[in-house]
Amino acid sequence: MKKGDIVENIAIDTMAAEGKCVARIDGQVIFLKGGAPGDVVSAQITKIRSKFLEGTVKVVTNPSPNRADPFCQHFGLCGGCSWQHIQYTKQLEYKQQQVVDNLERIGGLDLPGINPIIPSKK
């Protein structure tokens, strides 16, 4: 596999930092921009590292039931928002899990129960 290759039928597992998703190709982790957990996509490889790959979703062949229509006409162009294509309730779940993972895995903390994120009324 090399930079620029298109890989088809990638099943996206979960979310990662900065709105990227996590999937696996032949056992290797790939971080994808533009996907949602539950999507099956075709993606272009943009970076190859020793422990992971990075890529960009080119075609969503089977959309996740957690997808949403972005409310901003500039979504995907300006780079200011990277989560609008995912239902808001799911965004909150993924964001909370990222905080917990970072504190436990990276910070080495043993956390007590954490209250859910309080959603915005808007």
Q: List Cβ neighbours of 27 (8 Å cut-off, separation of 6 or more).
A: none
How far apart (Å, rounded) are the C-alpha atoms in residues 84 and 119?
15
- Given a cut of 80, is residue 38 above it in pLDDT? yes
Evaluate whether residue 38 is within a structural domain.
Answer: yes
Is 34:54 a contact under the CB 8 Å cutoff?
A: no
Residue 55 falls inside a structural domain: yes
Domain that holds residue 39: 6-106
Q: Is residue 116 part of a domain?
A: no
> What tokens were used for 56?
């960009």
- CATH number, position 39: 2.40.50.140
Q: Is residue 98 part of a domain?
A: yes
pLDDT of residue 1: 85
Which residue reads 């895995």 in tokens?
Answer: 105
Residue 115: which residues within 8 A CB-CB, separation 6 or more? none
Q: What is the pLDDT of residues 46-91, one digit of tens each?
A: 999 999 999 999 999 999 999 998 888 888 787 778 888 999 999 9
Q: What is the pLDDT of residues 67-77, one digit of tens each?
A: 998 888 888 78
Closest to 89 measured CA to CA, from 69, 122, 66, 64: 66
DSSP state letter for 18: G
